[in-house]
Chains A and B, each alone.
Chain A
Amino acid sequence: MAFSNEQLERYARHIVLKDVGAKGQEKLLNAKVLIIGVGGLGSPVAMYLAAAGIGTIGIADADVVDLSNLQRQIAHNTEKIGTAKVESAKETINRMNPDVTVHTYQTLVTKDNILDFIQDYDFIIDGTDNFSSKFLINDACVMAKKPFCHAGILGFQGQLMTYVPGEGPCYRCIFHNPPKKDEVPTCKQVGVIGAMCGVIGSLQAMEAIKYILGVGELLTGYLLTYDALTMEFRKVKLPKRVANCAICGDHPTITELIDYEQSECAGV
C-alpha cells in the first residue's frame, strides 16, 4: 500500500516502531472495530483507535449526551448535550482523523440485532454499563466466533479481560450469570472517577491494537484488575475454558441469545 505524505507523517510514530512498521499500519488501516457503548469506556477507546488509524470504527449507543456524562465521557462535550452519542462521537473521530470511516448505530443492542452488527467487524469492544449487555455481547461473540475485550469499572476499581475464540475462557465461564436486580446498585447511585474510564478504556484500545497487529500477548485467560486507591494492577490467571459453560462449553445450553432486564448496573 502507498502511504500519502500526510499519512507518513501522521503515523510516523507507529511506522518507526519495530513491531508495527508500514505493514502494521496497513493492518490498522484495514481493520474494523465495533465499540458497543460510547460512554465512559467507549470514549477513550474510540479516540485512541481513531488516532491510531483503525480504518473502520463502528459505534453503537442508543443514548443522547447528558450533562452528567461529561465528568468522564471525553468523546462528548458541553455543546453536544441532547445530541445522540453516536453522532457526537462520530464528529470527534472525524475531526481527529479523516482516514477513519465511521458507522453509527443509534439503537439499543439486543438479542435481535447484535449478530448483524458484529458480523462485519474484526474485534468488538464492550463499553457498556450494565450486566445484561455484557452477557449479551459475550454470548453473541462466542456464537459468532468474534474476539472481544470486556471491561467493567466502579468507583476506584476497574477490570478487563479479552476473549479470543478457542484461546481461553469466556466472560460467562468466569461470571456465570448476571447478578440479581437487588444485589447491585443502579448506575446513578454508584460513582466512578472519570480518569478510571481513561485507564481501562485505553487498555481496551491497546488490546484491540495488539490483536490487529498480531503482536505480544493478550489478556486471554487473564483478568487484569486495577485498584486506583492502592495503585495496584493485578493480572489474575483465570481457569481454562469451563467445559460445561452455558455458552462456550462442550454442550452449550444457551442456543438463543437472551435479553436480561436492563436495570442492573456493572459500573459506567
Chain B
Amino acid sequence: MSDIIINDEVDITDVMCPVTFAKAKVALEELEDGQVLSVLLNAGEPVRNVPRSMEYEGNQVLKLTDNQDGTFTLLVKKGGTK
C-alpha cells in the first residue's frame, strides 16, 4: 500500500456532523476521478459514518489507519468504484 499517491489532504477533526462529510466532500470534489484524498478524522461517529458515505457516493475507500491518538486517517480514491 506504500505506492498510494496522495493528491490532497483535509482535516475534519475540527467540525461536527454533518459538516464532517461536507468538508471532506468539498475537498474531494476538487480532485479528478482516480485521485486520492487523505482525510484526518476523529474516532467515533466520524469514523463510522464518513467512510460509508464516501462509498455510498461511488468513491473507493483504500485504507483506514488508526493513528492511536483518537484520530484516524482515511484514504479515499475519487470515483474509484465506478
B29 touches A8 (CB 8 A): no
Give the interface size class of chain B: 10 to 19
The yes or no answer to B4 lying at the interface (CB within 8 A) is no
User: How far is A148 from B26 in the complex, measured between Cα atoms in Å?
Assistant: 31
Q: Which residues of A contact B56 (CB under 8 A)?
A: 18
| Interface residue stretch chosen among A9-17, A55-63, A172-180, A219-227 | A9-17
Which residues of B line the A interface, CB within 8 A? 15, 18-19, 21-23, 25-26, 29, 53, 56-57
Main secondary structure of the interface of B (DSSP, over half): helix
Q: Which residues of B contact A9 (CB under 8 A)?
A: 15, 19, 22
B19 touches A18 (CB 8 A): no
Per-position binary interface string of chain A over residues 247-263, scored 1 when its CB falls under 8 Å from any chain B CB and 0 otherwise: 00000000000000000
Partner of A12, one of B19, B53, B57: B19
B25 touches A22 (CB 8 A): yes
Q: Which residues of A contact B15 (CB under 8 A)?
A: 5, 8-9
Query: Closest A-chain residue to B18, C-beta based?
Result: A12
User: How far is A23 from B27 in the complex, measured between Cα atoms in Å?
Assistant: 11
A9-B15, A9-B19 given as contacts; is B29 within 8 A of A16 (CB)? no
Q: Which residues of B contact A18 (CB under 8 A)?
A: 56-57
Partner of B21, one of A3, A5, A16, A23: A16
The yes or no answer to A21 lying at the interface (CB within 8 A) is yes
- Known contacts A3-B26, A12-B21, A16-B18; 4 additional CB pairs below 8 A are A8-B15, A12-B18, A15-B26, A21-B29
